[in-house]
């Protein structure tokens, strides 16, 4: 029986769906008789708090105009008294951009151990323990919070837990006040939205994704042909966007856009969690990669190991032939 707090992340006026994955993790950690609480920060977030209260036993709503934009530095100040009051055995955040911005500083101020980017969480005696991916995901590490009475924090990798369904808990919403000494040190100047691409890939049912494996822009042309044959839109992993071959709006991943297609064809994509974290729903995943050991084959439904410059045109031709 444990007390678990989830710090909800919001994207603009909506909750990040990751919070319902965290709810699953939190319930499992709380165990029967344990309670799960959520904290949500922002301005005008009554609706979000109510939504959370359907799944969480308690919701701490920090509603203040000074919290209008997520701010890892300022949010830590806001949350500190809640954590410092004690009583939480575990505090969970999503290991996304905000979690990376917020959790380390908050954990130090709250005097809590922090298990980062966990794939799995459990109790080892009274200590929070988990498994995390290290060395580019090629190795997993089992970690455990050092014994101590203050509870522990963890950031959780997107997709590691299945999202909890719509709740019927009718939890209590508590208006949480900002500490008197609250003084945000960051001044937000502006939020940059990615330049609108030709297509909004968040709406695409079929996506062909290109990764580092395409090597050059000629490779990109080949993949465009395949996408056209499939009637799919083109998206990419971070390295391709960093090279400037496709606009930022095409970047799928935890630091990019979240998509929910029905078909996902990954060409030359290694399958890092940062990329896979941007794919929701459960699409049929096809992987084409020259490296049989690439992690993408661990998540794909079907795959071909081979040279992209051979496989991609052959597949395009076969699809065209099929279409007649």
- Binders of other proteins among residues 65 to 104 (CB under 8 A) are 69-73, 76, 96-98, 100-104
User: Closest distance between other proteins and the C-beta of residue 50, in Å?
Assistant: 21
User: Which of 258, 208, 202 is CA-nearest to residue 232?
Assistant: 208
Told to check if 204 binds other proteins by CB under 8 A, we report no
Please classify residue 197 by burial: count the beta carbons closer than 10 Å to its beta carbon, then call 0-12 exposed, 13-18 middle and 19+ buried.
middle
CA distance 195 to 248: 7
CA distance 228 to 147: 56
CA distance 317 to 302: 19
- DSSP for residue 158: T
State which residue, 198 or 320, has the beta carbon closest to other proteins.
Answer: 320
State which residue, 26 or 286, has the beta carbon closest to other proteins.
Answer: 286
Question: Token digits for 184?
Answer: 């945000």
Question: Binding to other proteins (CB under 8 A): which residues in 14-33?
Answer: 16
CB 175 within 8 A of CB 138: no
Q: Which residue has the tokens 């709503």?
A: 61
User: Closest distance between other proteins and the C-beta of residue 45, in Å?
Assistant: 14
- DSSP for residue 212: G
DSSP secondary structure string for all residues of 6-30: EE--EETTEE-THHHHHHHHHHHHH
State which residue, 130 or 171, has the beta carbon closest to other proteins.
Answer: 130
In this chain, which of 42, 211, 256, 268 binds other proteins, going by CB under 8 A? 256
Question: Token digits for 180?
Answer: 């008197």
Contact window for other proteins (CB under 8 A) among 31-39, 41-49, 63-71, 163-171: 63-71
User: Closest distance between other proteins and the C-beta of residue 119, in Å?
Assistant: 9
Question: Binding to other proteins (CB under 8 A): which residues in 159-198?
Answer: 185-194
Q: Which residue has the tokens 């500083």?
A: 105
State which residue, 171 or 271, has the beta carbon closest to other proteins.
Answer: 271
Question: Token digits for 279?
Answer: 């794919």
Told to check if 39 binds other proteins by CB under 8 A, we report no
State which residue, 58 or 270, has the beta carbon closest to other proteins.
Answer: 270
User: Closest distance between other proteins and the C-beta of residue 282, in Å?
Assistant: 12
Count of residues that bind other proteins according to CB under 8 A: 103
Told to check if 58 binds other proteins by CB under 8 A, we report no
Question: Binding to other proteins (CB under 8 A): which residues in 100-159?
Answer: 100-109, 112-117, 129, 132-146, 148
Told to check if 280 binds other proteins by CB under 8 A, we report no
CB 265 within 8 A of CB 232: yes
CB 131 within 8 A of CB 118: yes
State which residue, 85 or 187, has the beta carbon closest to other proteins.
Answer: 187
- DSSP for residue 119: E
Told to check if 290 binds other proteins by CB under 8 A, we report yes
In this chain, which of 25, 41, 258, 268 binds other proteins, going by CB under 8 A? 258
Question: Binding to other proteins (CB under 8 A): which residues in 225-244?
Answer: 230, 238, 242
Total residues found in the chain within this entry: 324
User: Closest distance between other proteins and the C-beta of residue 84, in Å?
Assistant: 14
């Amino acid at each position: 029986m444990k007390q678990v707090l989830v710090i909800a992340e919001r994207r603009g006026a909506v909750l990040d769906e990751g919070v319902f994955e965290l709810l699953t993790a939190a319930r499992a950690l709380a165990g029967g008789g344990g309670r799960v609480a959520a904290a949500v920060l922002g301005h005008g977030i009554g609706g979000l708090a109510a939504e959370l209260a359907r799944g969480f036993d308690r919701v701490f709503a920090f509603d203040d105009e000074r919290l209008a934009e997520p701010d890892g530095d300022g949010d830590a100040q806001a949350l500190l008294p809640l954590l410092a009051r004690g009583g939480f055995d575990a505090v969970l955040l999503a290991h996304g951009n905000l979690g990376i911005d917020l959790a380390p500083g908050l954990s130090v101020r709250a005097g809590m151990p922090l298990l980062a980017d966990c794939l799995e969480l459990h109790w080892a005696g009274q200590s929070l323990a988990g498994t995390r991916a290290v060395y580019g995901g090629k190795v997993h590490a089992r970690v455990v919070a050092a014994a101590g009475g203050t509870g522990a924090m963890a950031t959780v990798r997107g997709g590691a837990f299945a999202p909890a369904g719509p709740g019927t808990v009718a939890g209590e919403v508590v208006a949480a006040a900002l500490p008197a000494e609250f003084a945000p040190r960051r001044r937000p100047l502006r939020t940059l939205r990615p330049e609108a691409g030709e297509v909004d890939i968040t709406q695409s049912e079929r996506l062909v994704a290109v990764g580092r494996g395409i090597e050059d822009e000629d490779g990109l042309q080949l993949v465009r042909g395949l996408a056209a044959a499939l009637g799919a839109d083109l998206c990419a992993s971070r390295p391709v966007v960093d090279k400037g071959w496709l606009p930022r709006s095409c970047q799928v991943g935890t630091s990019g856009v979240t998509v929910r297609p029905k078909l996902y064809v990954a060409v030359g994509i290694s399958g890092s969690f940062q990329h896979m974290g941007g794919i929701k729903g459960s699409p049929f995943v096809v992987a084409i990669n020259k490296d049989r050991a690439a992690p993408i084959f661990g998540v794909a439904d079907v795959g071909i190991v081979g040279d992209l410059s051979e496989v991609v045109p052959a597949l395009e031709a076969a699809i065209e032939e099929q279409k007649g």
